[in-house]
Amino acid sequence: MDIQFDKDHLWHPYTSMNNPLPCYGVVSAKGVQLELENGLQVIDGMSSWWSVLHGYNHPRLNQAIKDQVDKVSHVMFGGLTHEPAIELGKKLVSLSPKGLDKVFLADSGSVAVEVALKMAIQYWQGRQQPQKTKILTVLNGYHGDTFGAMAVCDPENGMHSMFEGSLNKQIFAPAPITPYNQPLCQQDIDNITQAFNEHHNELAAMIIEPVVQGAGGMRIYSPEYLTLIRQLCDKHNVLLILDEIATGFGRTGKLFGADHAGICPDIMCVGKTLTGGYMTLAATLSTSEVASGISDSPAGVFMHGPTFMGNPLACSVANASLELIMEGHWQNQVAAIESQLKLGLAPAAEFDAVAEVRVLGSIGVLEMVKPVDMASLQKRFIELGVWVRPFGKLIYIMPPYCINEAELNTLIDALITVARES
Ligand SMILES: *Cc1c(COP(=O)(O)O)cnc(C)c1O
């Protein structure tokens, strides 16, 4: 593999072009194993940034793409439609919280968030409240890398502080602090209630990642917070957008983050795991009421239409992945991962270098006291036979659901080893 060409010419995310962090060549992958070009096999703890569910090179997912490629790989979605998109729409409507029954197929998570924000703004134009254009969110959030999405990411740790001057100014409330299993603390109630009281006239929507804030800090919070914001949104005529791009399809132990609180948002974004980690595809779901509001707006139609909207190959592999989800094994798999993570990571809480251990569903997090050195830790993890990419103060894993007990033990041991050495 011409790693030197890669180094000289290819951008990789969040690293310098002139002096990039080392990059490892992957030649193949199967199950939870990545095969590196030097012949090393490493266990993937990252699910390729949260997206792989059933493992790499899955026979049923492979077959779905092979079957579709011989029929049609892509057609425009303007004026044309196809079986894979219709099938996917049916699955998404039946799996998602009851009430969400309109589906917009987008090409990535960030685009799905842009679509959600635009839907909310156009909705209020159709309900004679065109002044409702602002978005409320909480600190420590992450919603993507495009401009609309960046404007609702954490202004400091959301990876975009350098663009602040070019972003729409949105409304930020403090992030919820009540832990998962506890009744909502007064401070959380007061902070968010105050934000709604002050800003509801200008608010089109509130957007939040349910139960787990991902790339903005791997923070896990009480589902009661979701119940409260649902009530506040109803009371103040504000739409609720749940960004389930990281939490969707079982990652947190429930099918969706929203299910921890039993609420239904007005708009919901899914992505990452939608194709089981095979291809880029996302979706923005909404209620009929949101769709009606948009139809009643002066434009009369929703103004967004990506070239690769509803790509048949991506839809067909998404259908295969969702069929596996609907067979239900994920529930036992994620529950087993959760117990093993809780047990295995617990000793790290005693280490001086570790500030906190957090586990929910198939997500395990060590928050360190100090920021970690990503390049050296990555190298160390490879030596230990695993692929783990920490950031900031966080060393975390969220393996594919198909990981077995021995493989997960290897991952957990690697985390414990690295934390002990820190
Ligand atoms: C990754 C992520 C996004 C952005 O998705 P992309 O496909 O990378 O554009 C948005 N929201 C959340 C919660 C995410 O984790």
**68 Cβ inside 6 Å of ligand 1:** no
pLDDT of residue 159: 65
243 contacts 152 by C-beta, under 8 angstroms: no
How far apart are the C-alpha atoms of 216 and 198, rounded to whole Å? 25
Statement: the pTM of the whole predicted model exceeds 0.85: yes
- Output the pLDDT for position 372: 95
User: In angstroms, what is the span from residue 223 Cα to ligand 1's centroid?
Assistant: 21
Which residues does 131 contact at the CB level (< 8 Å), separation at least 6? 124, 201, 202
Q: Which helix (H) or strand (E) holds 181?
A: none
Q: Check residue 164 and give its pLDDT.
A: 81
Query: Separation of 154 CA from ligand 1 center, angstroms?
Result: 14
What pLDDT shows up at residue 14?
A: 87
Block means of pLDDT (10 residues each) for the chain, length 422 residues?
Answer: 94 90 95 96 97 98 98 98 98 97 97 98 98 98 96 83 87 98 97 98 98 95 98 98 98 98 98 97 98 97 96 98 98 98 98 98 98 93 97 96 98 98 93
396 included as an active-site residue? no
Q: Whose CA is nearest to atom 7 of ligand 1?
A: 109
142, 211, 249, 278, best to mutate for ligand 1 pocket (most atoms within 8 Å of CB): 142
Burial 351-388 (b: 16+ CB within 10 A, else e): beebeebbbbbbbbbbbbeeebebeebbebbbebbbbb
Taken in order of first residue, the domains within the chain and their CATH numbers are 3-57+329-421 (3.90.1150.10), 71-326 (3.40.640.10)
Of the CA atoms within 13 Å of residue 38, those in its CB half-sphere come to 8
DSSP class of residue 18? S
